[in-house]
Structure 1
């Protein structure tokens, strides 16, 4: 029997990157998947591939979250929060707007979806995985709001774990390093503009600082999520699984 047969999963940020890869992997292992996110064309494509249901919406909007939760039906067993964004900034010049927007998506969006999902998760118990980042531990000068938001995701996840363990709910975080996603492609372009190089050159420079010598593929982070939501992780809660290829040594630039 597939590992997740009969279970329903909700994945945010499911149109691209880690969210998409996770939705596809959970579906492959038998889960019925609701894919929630922006980028309607990409989201519909991912849902078709997963054999799941697409809900186009924003984690900062209560009505959209309610629609996504409603699409899960009478049960929800798995929640993966992968929606996120990065806007490069520095402590001395971060604007109130950038700070608020980053935390609203990365932290408050995660909280809002978890809060809305808890009534369903309490019915049978279940598993939550929130996508954090090694930036929570190794921030860089150019990621003030992003790093703060991801550190807060770790703290919030641990709070969830201890508050709802008695409900049979496990809550864990995955902290990826650099992953080949549209977000990292965007960052490579910014670095290339800043340094007068090329995106490929910037990628290669980053990979030289990673013990495994490469960035992760989204499917590799999805595999971490699969483990944490599966019965194999039945005694794991309040944990942070770091998946960075051995790239946590302090560096000039952020590790996602």
Structure 2
């Protein structure tokens, strides 16, 4: 590892599993001091222990919990990664109000609230924000109405933050992953398999046939994208969305559901 984040403090939400956990591991390997925030329970505690970080158990939609996470940064924050999120499959004609509200609350409002709380610390010396969006923001499937709307909001919020705070030395970017092997995607494949009478692995295999690179991503590959946007290697990049989908949403490919 290059030590690209040596001496820097990073706050990562949703760091107990999936892309957030992989990002925590990569940032720790690059020398960052970590504050890991979310509802991960014992998994979050284990990740903090493994990376030498501080675990703050809490909800990204709770102002009091967010305040505790910011306090755990001990007066300095150089990088924020918003990886907390959820998905509940739904269709536009049958969206449940409670599902819509909770999905937007966690994915969009939670991202906004953590960013807003982090800005005073980031302004002290400049820094970076990386928000995890999704290719669903641009190519929503019929079964991801609430999720797609929330992630489209994350893209818009990212651009607004970038232009509002570039003069403060803060760079703000988003990553739009495609299919990644995470507990969330496994849950989606289990639901698809149940409906189709197939298996999780058969559903994943069907996906790979619709992706230019012929496979889905591993969380560590998205963590590498986070590192790029958080480090000086992307010093002139802000207000952008890095699409990391292996070519899965190319117009010449059949899109995955």
- Shorter-chain TM-score bucket reads over 0.9
User: What is the aligned partner in structure 1 of residue 153 from structure 2?
Assistant: 152
User: What is the aligned partner in structure 1 of residue 217 from structure 2?
Assistant: 216
TM-score, normalization: structure 1? 0.97
SS at match of 2:217: coil
Contact 1:142 1:253 in 2 (8 A): no
Q: How far does the alpha carbon of each residue in 1:189-236 deviate from its partner, in whole angstroms, 9 at most, with x for none? A: 000011111111111001110111111000000000000010010100
1:249: how far off?
Answer: 3.7
Distance in 1 separating the partners of 2:83 and 2:245: 16
The answer to whether residue 55 in structure 2 is matched with residue 61 in structure 1 is: no
TM-score, normalization: structure 2? 0.97
The answer to whether residue 83 in structure 2 is matched with residue 82 in structure 1 is: yes
> How many residue pairs align between the two structures?
254
1:97: how far off?
Answer: 0.8
Distance in 2 separating the partners of 1:243 and 1:200: 22
Gaps of 5+ in 1: none
Distance in 2 separating the partners of 1:252 and 1:220: 21
Gaps of 5+ in 2: none
Q: CA RMSD in A?
A: 1.0
Q: How far does the alpha carbon of each residue in 1:111-166 deviate from its partner, in whole angstroms, 9 at most, with x for none? A: 00000000000000000000000000110000000001001100000000000000
User: What is the aligned partner in structure 2 of residue 225 from structure 1?
Assistant: 226
Distance in 1 separating the partners of 2:95 and 2:11: 33
Distance in 2 separating the partners of 1:4 and 1:101: 34
User: What is the aligned partner in structure 2 of residue 37 from structure 1?
Assistant: 38
User: What is the aligned partner in structure 2 of residue 20 from structure 1?
Assistant: 21
Distance in 2 separating the partners of 1:208 and 1:13: 30
Q: How far does the alpha carbon of each residue in 1:17-45 deviate from its partner, in whole angstroms, 9 at most, with x for none? A: 00011011111101101011112111011
Deviating above 3 A after TM superposition, structure 1's stretches of 4 or more consecutive aligned residues are 249-254
